[in-house]
Amino acid sequence: MNENEKVTNIFLSGVGGQGAILASNILAEVFLNSGYDVKKAEVHGMAQRGGEVTTHFRFGKKVYSPLIKHGDVDFLVSFELLEAIRYINWVKPEGRVIINNQMVFPPAVNLGLREYPKDVGETFKKYFKGNAYIINGQDIAKNLGSLQSANVVLVGALSSFFPGLKEELFLEAVKGLLASKLHDLNIKAFYEGKKAMERKD
């Protein structure tokens, strides 16, 4: 009855400079070209200075709000562990979570005033049994030759949840949004991300 029920909510979180915005731009191209209505909202006002970056990404037949309701996230994709746990309450009980296994210390941790949260992966596994995936995006990207491509590794990982989407659309989006010298690297990153998901379970 409610047409809004068909909307899928993807929440991306990370630290300025990790490529969360680019990742969401790739998703936007892919879902738009697959015939969906798409809306995306970012918070990155001062992210250049090491702050948090979050993106609300929504697709469906018709999307009204660019913002996801608190507690309504279907997929949480996080580029950093602390920025994953910060948004754990946003995810639906049956939601899925993909986390890049990387730590970036915020100032209070650097100064020794606060502790970086422990066992983030375990916490997610506890609440999202079988639906929490910790990806070593950093290592995968490093092996490919560029730390920068960890964001596309995560996009590849996420893509495995949408088998109906044409793979070429992801590759086209990567090509459309990145400089040509980065195409090969990022296309490899996409496939490595996909593979990383196969290895789980």
**Residues interacting with another protein, by CB under 8 A?**
2-4, 15-16, 25, 28-29, 32, 37-52, 63-72, 82-83, 85-90, 93, 105-112, 114-117, 123, 127
Task: Tell me whether residue 72 or residue 191 sits nearer to another protein (CB atom).
Answer: 72
Closest approach of Cβ 138 to another protein, in Å?
A: 11
Q: Which residues contact 133 (CB under 8 A, 6 or more apart)?
A: 96, 97, 98, 99, 157, 197, 200
Task: Tell me whether residue 43 or residue 200 sits nearer to another protein (CB atom).
Answer: 43
Residues in the chain: 201
Contact call for residues 96 and 157 (beta carbons, < 8 A): no
Task: Tell me whether residue 63 or residue 157 sits nearer to another protein (CB atom).
Answer: 63
Closest approach of Cβ 65 to another protein, in Å?
A: 4
Question: How many other β-carbons are positioned within 10 Å of the β-carbon of residue 72?
Answer: 15
CA dihedral 90, 80, 60, 62 (to 10 degrees): 70
Closest approach of Cβ 198 to another protein, in Å?
A: 28
Closest approach of Cβ 137 to another protein, in Å?
A: 16
